[in-house]
Amino acid sequence: MAATRLIALHINKGRTIAQTLGDRTDYSENPAKTDGGKYITSYACAPQTADEEFLFSKRQYEYITGRQQKHDVIAYQIRQSFKPGEITPEEANRMGYELGMRWTKGKYAFIVCTHVDRAHIHNHIIYNSTSLDCTRKFRDFHLSGLALQRVSDRICLEHGLSIIAPKPKAEREKYKHSKEPSGRDKICAAIDEAMARHPKDLSELIALLQAAGYEYKDGKRPSLRGPGQQRFARFSSLGENYTLEALDAAIRGSQQRPRAHNNQRHEKKFNLLIDIQQKITEGKGTGYQRWASVFNLKQMAQVLCFLQENGISDYDELTAKADAAVQEFEALGDTIKEAEARLQEISAMKKHIINYAKTRDVYVAYRKAGYSKKFLEEHREEITLHRAAKDAFDQMGVKKLPRVKELNAEYAEVLAQKKAAYPAYRKARAQMQEYLIAQRVVAVVLDKEQEQREEEQRRQQSQQQTDKNR
């Protein structure tokens, strides 16, 4: 079990870059904490001169790129703390080095110092914010600490260590007290309340918002400002469900407007295991075998993290959730297919109605002419279109032709429903793939464990038979 934390190191007040780097590396490399420097390793730098090499790379960066930033991050520190009694200092240092390599992808120099002066063994990993080629800086990102924790959890699982079970959001301390809603949240809540009163059109919706104390600004980018707010917020910036177009469509009943949306991209978290024996028979060498073994181990660790995140404790529960995900995905797919089929029907109906209306006078004249062959030759195209439209109406069972305006409204409604179903469809597809892959991986692992138990039983029986013969 390892708890991690990512810290950005800035220049301390009253200190230079060199002094700040020296302070941090000296503390991390303290002989009293690292058993006389025994548990110190590094990558692309020497532990004794790491601060000087970091500083030299920053000067090279300024020389190559010509950029000089104030208040820059000079380095990053990772603190990785292990559960007391679960790991040795040597193994902790190796895991810290592996974490540094995976996190930096080998593009940034770093040192790993394992401290053993406390009851819990912990690593101080300091890596340079400037890359090895001195052309770029490490770019921190949102929720990088969570990403770092997941990388550390995978390494722990690969080494047979426990991990910290994530708590439900409601049980976390920082979520027990709700934060003050932002100005945009208040505007969205006010729009939801106004929409609940079922306004007839956008003008009535704006009137309800104004009656609630909100100021409306018309123009190229319409916006709202609530009581006590200094700036206007554009409708287009509130989310895809709060644009004027989406609100107008919801008022006209052409789509159901959800109050929350999610546009996150769903990336595949893990892959299927590689059949190493089959690859060897295909001509793969020992190098590929070693890589495939490590790859399979990583995939199994990621699957285990996935199962823990979703609260799955046995294979039957995983199978049930996988089946439910498949059913949800197929149901959403059927909904989209039905919408596409209806759109095609409406398009064909509109086309035939327009052709029927355009060629009606010609066909009436053709009928009054006694279905003359001469008249048919002169107006063959119009008469053919008219007959095709009538045949289509007969096949569709249409007795009374609908208006084109009604068909346009229905087309817009079905199209909006189809577009609204796509985010849920993509999410269900990604979730289904994750569950199915996890199910396949767990099934392979369980089969291998069963094979190992059977092999062990056969080996014991063979040994017993040998002992009897002696």
Confidence of residue 299 (pLDDT cuts 50, 70, 90): confident
Of 43-52, 194-203, 288-297, 307-316, highest mean pLDDT: 43-52
**What percentage of the chain has pLDDT greater than the value 70?**
87
Mean pLDDT score across all residues of the chain: 85
The answer to whether the CB of 112 falls within 8 A of the CB of 100 is yes
Confidence of residue 470 (pLDDT cuts 50, 70, 90): low
Predicted local distance difference test score (pLDDT) of residue 258: 52
- The structure tokens listed for 393 are 């109406």
Mean pLDDT along residues 70-91: 91
CA–CA dist 174, 161 (Å, integer)? 27
Does 290 score more than 80 pLDDT?
no
Q: What is the pLDDT of residues 212-231, one digit of tens each?
A: 889 998 888 889 998 888 88
CA–CA dist 90, 396 (Å, integer)? 78
Measured in whole angstroms, the distance separating CA 314 from the mean position of its chain's CA atoms is 25
Helix (H, G, I), strand (E, B) or coil at 322: helix
Residues with Cβ within 8 Å of residue 246, at least 6 apart in sequence: 240, 255, 257
CA–CA dist 367, 166 (Å, integer)? 79
Q: Which residues pair with 215 in a beta bridge?
A: 225
Instruction: Give the side-chain half-sphere CA count within 13 A for 213.
Output: 7
Higher pLDDT, 210 or 291: 210
Q: What is the pLDDT of residues 406-462, one digit of tens each?
A: 888 888 898 888 888 889 999 999 889 888 888 888 887 777 666 666 667 777 777
Instruction: Specify burial of residue 234 (Cβ count, 10 A radius: 0-12, 13-18, 19+).
Output: middle
Measured in whole angstroms, the distance separating CA 97 from the mean position of its chain's CA atoms is 28
Predicted local distance difference test score (pLDDT) of residue 292: 74
Predicted local distance difference test score (pLDDT) of residue 80: 96
- The structure tokens listed for 392 are 């289509």
What CA–CA distances, in Å, run from 192 to 113, 209, 248, 345, 437?
54, 10, 13, 34, 39
Output phi, psi for 402, to 5 deg.
Answer: -75, 160
Predicted local distance difference test score (pLDDT) of residue 368: 87
- The structure tokens listed for 220 are 């190229």
Does 255 score more than 50 pLDDT?
no
Output phi, psi for 153, to 5 deg.
Answer: -60, -40
Output phi, psi for 372, to 5 deg.
Answer: -65, 135
Q: What is the pLDDT of residues 166-217, one digit of tens each?
A: 776 666 665 555 567 888 888 898 898 888 888 888 888 888 888 888 999 8
CA–CA dist 242, 261 (Å, integer)? 11
Q: What is the pLDDT of residues 329-350, one digit of tens each?
A: 999 999 999 999 989 888 888 8
